[in-house]
């Protein structure tokens, strides 16, 4: 048994012991495509919850400091995470993600950028996920996480229908287009799946 399978099985068992997990929409995951997985960000547990709930191997960006501990760093790498220097080499991280997608791997990104503090709405979405998807020429799979990470509580992960970006293929990914994708399509899809409002609709 590979270390990846061992680590994945161990972490998955722990999560299922801690929470009552429900997964919906797995039929929306294509078997023969590479894509960017985008989900809302509630907790440090989101990466393993998303990664282990999907029947595919997903790569995650994780801050470099988490890899300083050799054992924990090995586990992170085994479950698909790769280190980035936050605030210093964002461009390098974006290029790495694009390269992984072009090599046939799926990459997961949390468009909010950091954990949201509000239970009823998402944070303002950042353009990074749309930029990576457009540059790599792939589509986006929206995912919503609903529930609170409290012991034995119900956690639901919903997989939505693929967001096609084919109309942007070959175009220059300028800021206006990326913001249009993020605010007009991506974040509303995630919000609906997570059962919350978008940042723009928070006061409605």
CATH code of domain 3-194: 3.40.1130.10
With a cut of 70, say whether residue 5 has pLDDT above it. yes
Least confident of 6-10, 48-52, 100-104: 6-10
The pLDDT confidence band at residue 1, using thresholds 50, 70 and 90, is: low
**What pLDDT is recorded for position 68?**
83
Q: Provide the residue ranges of all domains of the chain, joining segments of one domain with +.
A: 3-194
- Closest among 121, 122, 110 to 36, alpha carbons compared: 110
CA 37 to chain centre: 5
Q: What is the pLDDT of residues 143-172, one digit of tens each?
A: 999 999 999 999 999 999 999 998 887 677
**What pLDDT is recorded for position 25?**
97
CA 74 to chain centre: 20
Residue 30's φ and ψ, nearest 5 degrees, are -70, 150
Q: What is the pLDDT of residues 33-56, one digit of tens each?
A: 899 999 999 988 888 889 889 999
Count other C-beta atoms under 10 Å from residue 27's C-beta. 8
**What pLDDT is recorded for position 138?**
95
Separation of alpha carbons 7 and 119, rounded Å: 31
- Closest among 34, 64, 3, 52 to 141, alpha carbons compared: 34
Task: Report the predicted TM-score, pTM, of the whole model to 2 decimal places.
Answer: 0.90
């Amino acid at each position: 048994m590979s270390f990846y399978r061992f680590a994945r099985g161990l972490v998955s068992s722990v999560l299922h012991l801690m929470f009552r997990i429900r997964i919906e929409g797995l039929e929306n995951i294509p078997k023969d495509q590479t894509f960017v997985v985008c989900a809302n960000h509630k907790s440090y547990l989101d990466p393993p919850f998303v990664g282990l709930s999907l029947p595919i191997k997903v790569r995650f960006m994780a801050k470099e400091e988490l890899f300083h501990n050799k054992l924990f760093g090995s586990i992170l790498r085994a479950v698909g995470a790769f280190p980035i220097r936050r605030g210093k080499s964002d461009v390098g991280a974006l290029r790495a993600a694009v390269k992984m997608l072009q090599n046939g791997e799926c990459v997961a990104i949390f468009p909010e950028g950091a954990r949201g503090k509000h239970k009823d709405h998402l944070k303002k979405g950042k353009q990074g996920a749309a930029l990576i998807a457009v540059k790599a020429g792939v589509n986006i799979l929206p995912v919503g996480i609903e529930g609170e990470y409290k012991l034995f509580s119900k956690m639901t992960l919903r997989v939505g229908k693929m967001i096609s970006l084919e109309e942007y293929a070959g175009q220059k990914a300028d800021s206006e287009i990326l913001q249009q994708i993020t605010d007009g399509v991506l974040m509303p899809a995630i919000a609906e799946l997570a059962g919350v409002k978008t940042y723009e609709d928070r006061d409605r």
